Amino acid sequence: MPIAISSDTIDLSSEKKTEELANELLKKLKPGNIVFLYGEMGVGKTTFVKYLINGLQKIHKLKLTEVTSPTFNLLNEYQIDEITINHYDFFRLKSASEIKNLGLFEETNNIITLIEWPQMIKEKPENLIELFFEYGKDHKTRSLQIKGLNQ
């Protein structure tokens, strides 16, 4: 499955399609990338992150870890050989000032940063990939649009 260009809408109506897309994105994702994940609650953002992290663990022949939403602790960190994945969830944050002291975009050489609910971040960082998850009319279908991924 090739990665779609930014104007394309990708069908993610099944978990299998979500896993396939995560595995395709892994081929292009590299340390220093920052990924914003937008979309309503339950639309598949954390499921996508799970397949992304577990896919990277498989590539590196590591034990698969449980990947959960960091809604209550704000950050889950995963070490995959020399790569660190920082998985943030800003759903519970009330203001942009709560983000300032996190040092999100300071040292990113060996880090892939994944941020669910990034709407409060006003200045978009370099190396940004934006994923827009959406429900279809019946909430049984889901789709994704990608912005910022170099083909």
Strands 34-38 and 128-135: parallel
- Output the pLDDT for position 151: 45
Mean pLDDT of all residues belonging to the chain:
88
- Output the pLDDT for position 3: 52
- Output the pLDDT for position 131: 96
Q: How many CB atoms neighbour CB 144 within 10 A?
A: 24
Q: Which residue has the higher pLDDT, 32 or 149?
A: 32
Share of the chain above pLDDT 70, in %: 94
Q: Which residue has the higher pLDDT, 138 or 128?
A: 128
Nearest to 51 by CA among 87, 79, 19, 86: 19
Name the band, by pLDDT with cuts 50, 70 and 90, for residue 150.
low
Is the pLDDT score of 60 beyond 60? yes
Summarize pLDDT for 66-117 with one digit per residue, the tens. 999 888 888 999 999 999 999 999 998 887 777 877 777 777 789 999 999 9
In the sheet that holds 142-147, the strands lie side by side as 10-11, 142-147, 128-135, 34-38, 111-116, 83-89, 75-80
CB-based contact 43:134 (threshold 8 Å): yes
